[in-house]
Amino acid sequence: MISARVRQWSSLLAIVLTIISLKAEGASVGITFLQDAVAKGAVCLDGSPPAYHFHEGSGTGVNNWIVHIEGGGWCEDVETCLSRKKTDLGSSKLMVKQFGFSGLLSSQQKSNPDFYNWNRIKVRYCDGSSFTGDAVDPANNLFFRGHRIFEAIVADLLAKGMKNAKNAILSGCSAGGLAAILNCDKFRALLPATTKVKCISDAGFFIHAKDVSGGQHIESFYSKVAKLHGSVKNLPASCTSRMGTRPELCFFPQYVVQTMQTPIFFINSAYDSWQIKNILAPSAADKGKAWKSCKLDLKKCTPAQLKVIQDFRTSFLLAINRAGVLNSPSKGMFIDSCHAHCQIGKQITWSSDSSPVVGNTKIAKAVGDWYYERSPVRKLDCPYPCNPTCPKVDSESALDG
């Protein structure tokens, strides 16, 4: 009897300690639905309210804020948007109620020393346009309201204390990293003038490049997204005003970043796995499937394919350079040669014994040094396959983008 009770209490204690440990790690953070945003038309593709996960800051970080936008690709036509609204990338009704925080959002001082005690927010992505759209398709009951969602979430966070922010960062991964670029100056304008505001884009620097067939697959794709969602009017005016009859090209960071006013930092691979699969060698441009194995594992590429991939890296670096990243004191970068996509949201790539190293620096330290201006940070890796600290395999999830 006593032994059974001891086992029962031991099990209960183990559960309690696990919960405490999870909370300490920031590993499980509850969801907040913005019900009031629905009346403003700020809704997901299916009309459900937008949502985010919020872990409150403490101590010296109580007036510091990170607003991080998740990734998940885009929908470019009615068919793909109708499919998307049946997932958590189009409906908050289908989102998990708890979300694990790691990497940049970790609450562990040891692994995230510069940001562990900040207010940390993970914004859920449910509009399919990197928070740029503002249109409706009544016939198909689709709502393209990304722009309104972004403004509604920022307004809600301002009311919850971000109006007193001393420091604020807008960040994101993949499609969220693109959203952080496209909405960076807007975020700066919505916060008090006294707040120090910077932005971070992780795997969001998608380049305007031709595919392996010589076609413009990604240009056509982004043009469809912009047209369907009514995005052009919400892309940065500092870019669209310069693009003449092609304002939709301001979906590409290389044209936007040139005229950005707010400091921004780029974490990207020059061999970004999503870009190799979807910009360089999309299935539509590879009918014979010659690139099928190579684009998933660079070790399986032929010498001719590796030459094309090295040329893609050259195009990526040229786009970064033309965007003014290399010669602007307010911009920084960490460009590695890992076959990867999104590196700041996972502890293993953010700050661990297995994290990629460029110039004797890991990503977490590079971001912290840049944000706090401890030193200029422009880390550029040598060409693939030179870096032994890169993870052995790409950890990209199927929906990242």
* pLDDT, average across residues 50-67: 98
CA–CA gap between residue 393 and residue 43 (Å, rounded):
37
Does the active-site annotation cover 36? no
Q: Of 55, 68, 147, 341, which is the active-site residue?
A: 341
CA–CA gap between residue 286 and residue 280 (Å, rounded):
10
Phi-psi region of 342 (alpha: psi -120 to 50; beta: other; left: phi over 0): left
CA–CA gap between residue 291 and residue 274 (Å, rounded):
14
Does the active-site annotation cover 341? yes
**Phi, psi for residue 323 in degrees, rounded to 5:** -75, -5
Does the active-site annotation cover 272? yes
DSSP code per residue over 24-82: HHT--EEEEE-GGGGGGT---TTSPPPEEEEE---GGGTTEEEEEE-------SHHHHH
CA–CA gap between residue 89 and residue 69 (Å, rounded):
12
Q: Of 46, 127, 202, 272, which is the active-site residue?
A: 272
400 pLDDT band (50/70/90 cuts)? very low
Q: Of 174, 201, 351, 355, which is the active-site residue?
A: 174
Instruction: Using the predicted structure, report yes or no on whether residue 397 has a pLDDT greater than 90.
Output: no
SS3 323: coil
CA–CA gap between residue 78 and residue 80 (Å, rounded):
6
Pick the CATH number of 25-380 from 3.40.50.1820, 3.40.309.10, 3.65.10.10, 3.40.50.2300: 3.40.50.1820
CA–CA gap between residue 135 and residue 200 (Å, rounded):
28
pLDDT digits (tens, 9 = 90+) for 261-318: 999 999 999 999 999 999 999 999 999 999 999 999 999 999 999 999 999 999 999 9
Task: State residue 5's pLDDT score.
Answer: 53
pTM: predicted TM-score of the whole model, two decimal places: 0.92
Would you say 143 and 46 are in contact if contact means Cβ atoms under 8 Å apart? yes
Burial 328-360 (b: 16+ CB within 10 A, else e): eebbbbbbbbbbbbbbbbbbebbbeeebbbbee
Would you say 196 and 164 are in contact if contact means Cβ atoms under 8 Å apart? no
